[in-house]
Amino acid sequence: MSDAAPDMQDLYRELVIDHSRNPRHFGRLEDATHTADGINPLCGDKLRLYFRVDASGTIESSSFEGSGCAISIASASLLTEAVTGLEVDDAKSCSATISTRLTTAAPYANLDAHLENLKALDGVRAYPSRVKCATLAWHALQAALTNDTQPATTE
């Protein structure tokens, strides 16, 4: 029996694998109020995100569909879990936080408790070519919530 602390990197790696194999909220959301496509031509990831925002500006439900590599799918799946229940403005700032976190060399800031699982994406910083896979869904979230009609692209 070992009393060693679990290796957090391993836990997060498993979380990414789990979300890529069993994506949460996968499929079309019939009564969506906001949708956006995201395309990452470098990898071939194509996602469509759906959100239903209620009259008070809260994201009631989220879903996504599409195809892509494990990182892009896991990131979209984690996104739908993280932003459901958030106010639109909070979801947008969450998107900005994650994009900054993955694309700059700045030290990690703490994440709010409900975003804790998004630390699972931190590992892609070591693989610059995969960062766009991880940020794709977040670009699409931003586009959906600002009613941007152009597909979000990582290019």
Concatenate the DSSP letters of all residues of 58-79 into one string: BEEEEEEEEE--HHHHHHHHHH
Nearer residue to Zn ion within complex by CB, 45 or 51:
45
Does 133 help bind Zn ion (rule: CB under 5 A)? Answer: yes
79 vs 133, beta carbon nearer Zn ion = 133
Q: Is 140 in the site for Zn ion (CB under 5 A)?
A: no
Residue of 54, 52, 53, 94 lying closest to 75 (CA atoms): 94
Contacts with Zn ion, 4-43, as mask; x by CB under 5 A: ---------------------------------------x
Among 26, 52, 65, 69, indicate the residue that binds Zn ion (CB under 5 A).
Answer: 69
